[in-house]
Amino acid sequence: MKSNVRLRTRILSGVFIFVAFLLVVRLYFVQIVHGSAYQAEGMGQYVQPDPSTGGNRGDIYFTTKDGQLVAAAVSETGYSIAINTQKMTDPNAAYQALDAVTHIDKTAFMTAVNSGSGFVKVATHIQDGKEAKVISLNIPGVIVSDDSWRAYPAGTLAAQVLGFVGYDGTSTVKIGEYGLEKEYNDTLSESSTGLYVNPFAEIFTNMQDLLTLDPASQHGSIVTSIEPTVEQELNDTLQQVMTSYTPQFDGGIVMDAHTGEIIAMAQLPTFDPNNYQAATDPSVFTNKLVSDRYEMGSIMKPLTMAAGIDSGAVTASTTYDDTGCITVSKAKVCNFDFKARGVVPMGTILDYSLNVGASWVATKTGYPTFTRYMKSYGLGQPTGIDLPNEQSGDLTNLDDGSGPAVNFDTASFGQGITVTPIEMIRALDLLANNGQLVQPHLVTAIQYESGVTRPVTVAAGPQILKTSSAQTVTQMLETVYDNYELNGALKMQHYTAAAKTGTAQIPNPATGQYFTGSIYLHSYFGYFPATNPRFIVFLYAYKPIGQEYSAYTWSQPYFKLEQFLINYYSIPPDR
């Protein structure tokens, strides 16, 4: 008898404890997690709801070097004012009363009144209690609606990375357009706008947050690797070149050399996602660093050298007779200055950026093997970076390794094949990362409404080059940086760096031939400290004016950016 009573008591106690647990969980979500939303809904009893707002959209964060989160994209709530033109009895009096509370453009207001088109919004982004004042005026034909909008506190900073929220022309709800807003739209968008969720369902949802194999499959905010101070410094670097040499556009990437995390990514011209409608050229919305491809020129030569060394075709001490020009498949291939250097070792090819030398290495490697290496670097393939509209480069001229010989010779110094900037930095990072390919990425974690944050893991890439091959080419590039970039003016006393410039001819799409005159794409890459790289940097400018060679447009801006990163991250010296 006593045992039955004890069992019943335990069962009832368990039920009460479980119910109490549910109530505590529910109160937590009502008061803490959804508190602001319930407050807004309470106010919404007196206003017209707006279904186009799309619910509670997750935020996007930058991450400082110290791990602090900085808001990059947030959802703000407030109200909008609309008028019912059929019920507007005294437009002038209505306008004066509304304008006294919040400024409204009179011409636009009267145009709306005279349109006769029913409901027309005349003011948005209303906050700070102004909506209550408008409601209290009780003006016939005036409607206050709840409103939400996307705000970008950093303005133009990383605009092409973030994208913006708008209408795509097929939906009545705002969705992500461009950038991370589009790529992670399903994560950022709330599937349900209802606040009254069954407690059991809410608990189950939170368990899914914890257990799902794909953190991005659940609704939440996204945390990126973009460091806002570095992003600003990169933007300033691009602006310096834009001001001095007025290219059509320029861009750059700063990437962690060992993890593939994108620390900064920027391009100019840019736009303000808070007011994207003001952009006169919609092409500024596109992130050219992932969606456009180019012939990159001489920054391809270190990868050609790596293929030759890794395959065993050449060593650092191998020599060749540089004649200044050669004829391949009835086409002439020449050094940039047409000069012959005579019998020189492999390092001289990178020191003086010799086209004939790169061609010689590709030929010595063998065209099928050379092609295999170029493809193993990830060139001509999407990197899989977590941004929309990524395009892959074009290695068609290399075919299966059996095309015209001149195609391989020109590809060895970055002409006749195209790659995207993100493909290029990933391939060049093989030299900085001891021959291992990384996965470039921006999002590092998903932060859920429950307060749980789940890291987004990225798998390590394959080993493409032998560590010794990558280190050999790195040592060559150290010499280039110390002794040949601006005649050694960039050499640092306590730090090593590996770097290379690229000056590429640009094909004329109308004729298929290269533009004549000083019409080039200027590129630059470098990583440091060379003995154990922390960052790799890629920079490029399309059709700069006033300088023919990339060394004169990019070397000093790169050096300034390099010095900033060394100081900002307190990177220890390596010599």
Report if residue 418 sits inside a domain.
yes
Structure tokens at 490: 């960039």
Report if residue 39 sits inside a domain.
no
- For residues 359 and 301, the answer to whether their CB atoms sit within 8 Å is no
Q: Whose CA is closest to 247, among 256, 239, 255?
A: 239
Identify the DSSP state of 163: -
Residue 441 backbone phi and psi in degrees, to 5: -160, 160
| pLDDT at res. 545 | 97
| pLDDT at res. 33 | 54
| pLDDT at res. 113 | 84
Quote the CA–CA distance of 72 and 34 in Å, as a whole number.
21
Structure tokens at 10: 């335990």
Give the 3-state secondary structure of 502-524.
EEEECECCCCCCECCCCCEEEEE
- For residues 163 and 176, the answer to whether their CB atoms sit within 8 Å is yes
Per-residue pLDDT of the chain (575 residues; tens, 9 = 90+): 556 656 666 666 666 666 566 565 555 555 555 555 444 444 333 345 555 545 589 999 999 999 999 999 999 888 988 888 888 888 899 899 998 999 998 888 888 888 776 778 888 888 888 889 989 999 888 989 888 889 999 999 999 999 999 877 666 678 999 999 999 999 999 765 444 455 554 454 554 555 566 788 899 999 999 999 999 999 999 999 999 999 999 999 999 999 999 999 999 999 999 999 999 999 999 999 999 999 999 999 999 999 999 999 999 999 999 999 999 988 999 999 999 999 999 999 999 999 999 999 999 999 999 999 999 999 999 999 999 999 999 999 998 666 789 999 999 999 999 999 999 999 999 999 999 999 999 999 999 988 899 999 999 899 999 999 999 999 999 999 999 999 999 999 999 999 999 999 999 988 989 998 889 999 999 999 999 999 999 999 999 999 999 999 999 999 999 999 999 999 999 99
Angle at 460 between CA 459 and CA 462, to 5 degrees: 125
Report if residue 346 sits inside a domain.
yes
Domain count of the chain? 2
Residue 528 backbone phi and psi in degrees, to 5: -160, 160
* H-run or E-run covering 164: strand 164-166
CATH number at residue 296: 3.40.710.10
- For residues 357 and 322, the answer to whether their CB atoms sit within 8 Å is yes
Quote the CA–CA distance of 130 and 181 in Å, as a whole number.
30
* H-run or E-run covering 537: strand 535-542
Laid out side by side, the sheet with 498-505 consists of: 262-268, 249-256, 535-542, 520-528, 498-505
The helix/strand/coil state of 312 is coil
* H-run or E-run covering 70: strand 69-84
Which is it for the CA torsion 386, 387, 393, 399, positive or negative?
positive
Q: Whose CA is closest to 267, among 242, 245, 244?
A: 242
Identify the DSSP state of 442: S
Report if residue 535 sits inside a domain.
yes
Residue 448 backbone phi and psi in degrees, to 5: -95, 165
Report if residue 348 sits inside a domain.
yes
| pLDDT at res. 334 | 96
Report if residue 147 sits inside a domain.
no
| pLDDT at res. 124 | 84
Report if residue 262 sits inside a domain.
yes
User: How many CB atoms neighbour CB 243 within 10 A?
Assistant: 9
User: How many CB atoms neighbour CB 485 within 10 A?
Assistant: 24
Structural domain boundaries, residue 7 = 1-33
Quote the CA–CA distance of 113 and 124 in Å, as a whole number.
17
Report if residue 355 sits inside a domain.
yes
